[in-house]
């Protein structure tokens, strides 16, 4: 597939003036985008984030046994887990505790990318409202907008666009 911007993919146009080639113009693989395996948390803070236990998170952070910046072997933070598992209250707690909202894991994925991959719209909203960068590209060159377009999630795509997602971002196809 030739290099095509995310917005052209969303509206099914691979070249200017062409008709859509199928559902939202998506055929075959899209720049290496594939369904991800939901990450398994290891640490106490990451486990609490993945189940949405804000009480335990506040307890662990209050004891200073854990930090919002703690990472697992794949460099994921509690924010990555909260977003992948869809817990906007945990996302809000972590953002208020000054976590790095644009922290990248070992695949260069941000929490925003994780939230989009798992269709966690409330988490996407919280992140964008607190300044998450929608234009960070992962190791494959895909941005949050690429993932929203690939999964045909027009609601999340619209939110990303309203927060200045780059409509001409190209992945590493």
Residue range 112-147, pLDDT digits in tens: 999 999 999 999 999 999 999 999 999 999 999 999
State the pLDDT confidence band at 21, using cuts at 50, 70 and 90: very low
Q: Could you give the CA distance from residue 73 to residue 101 in angstroms, rounded to a whole number?
A: 19
**33 or 92, higher pLDDT:** 92
φ, ψ at 150 (rounded to 5°): -60, -35
Residue closest to 101 by CA, chosen among 161, 47, 56, 163:
163
The SS3 assignment for 17 reads coil
Considering only 25-39, 64-78, 96-110, which range has the smallest mean pLDDT? 25-39
The SS3 assignment for 109 reads coil
pTM for the complete prediction? Answer: 0.81
Considering only 23-27, 85-89, 107-111, which range has the smallest mean pLDDT? 23-27
pLDDT tens by residue, 34-93? 556 788 888 999 999 999 999 999 999 999 889 999 999 999 999 999 999 999 999 999
| Rounded alpha-carbon distances, angstroms, from residue 122 to 48, 70, 87 | 18, 23, 8
CB 41, CB 50: distance < 8 Å: yes
How confident is the model at residue 172, as a pLDDT?
A: 86
How confident is the model at residue 17, as a pLDDT?
A: 43
5: which 2 tokens? 């911007």
How confident is the model at residue 16, as a pLDDT?
A: 45
Q: Could you give the CA distance from residue 132 to residue 81 in angstroms, rounded to a whole number?
A: 16
Give the domains, in start order, of the chain with CATH numbers: 39-162 (1.25.40.20)
């Amino acid at each position: 597939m030739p290099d095509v911007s995310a917005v052209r993919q969303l509206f099914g146009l691979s070249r200017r003036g062409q008709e859509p080639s199928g559902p939202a113009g998506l055929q075959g693989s899209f720049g290496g985008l594939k369904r991800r395996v939901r990450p398994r948390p290891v640490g106490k803070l990451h486990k609490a984030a993945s189940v949405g236990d804000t009480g335990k998170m506040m307890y662990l952070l209050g004891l200073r046994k854990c930090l919002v910046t703690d990472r697992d072997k794949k460099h994921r933070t509690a924010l990555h887990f909260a977003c992948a598992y869809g817990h906007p209250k945990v996302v809000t707690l972590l953002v208020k505790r000054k976590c790095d909202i644009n922290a990248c894991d070992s695949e260069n994925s941000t929490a925003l990318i994780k939230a989009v991959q798992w269709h966690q719209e409330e988490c996407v909203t919280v992140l964008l409202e607190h300044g998450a960068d929608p234009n960070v590209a992962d190791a494959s060159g895909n941005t949050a907008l690429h993932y929203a377009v690939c999964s045909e999630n027009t609601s999340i795509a619209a939110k990303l666009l309203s927060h200045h997602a780059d409509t001409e971002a190209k992945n590493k196809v």
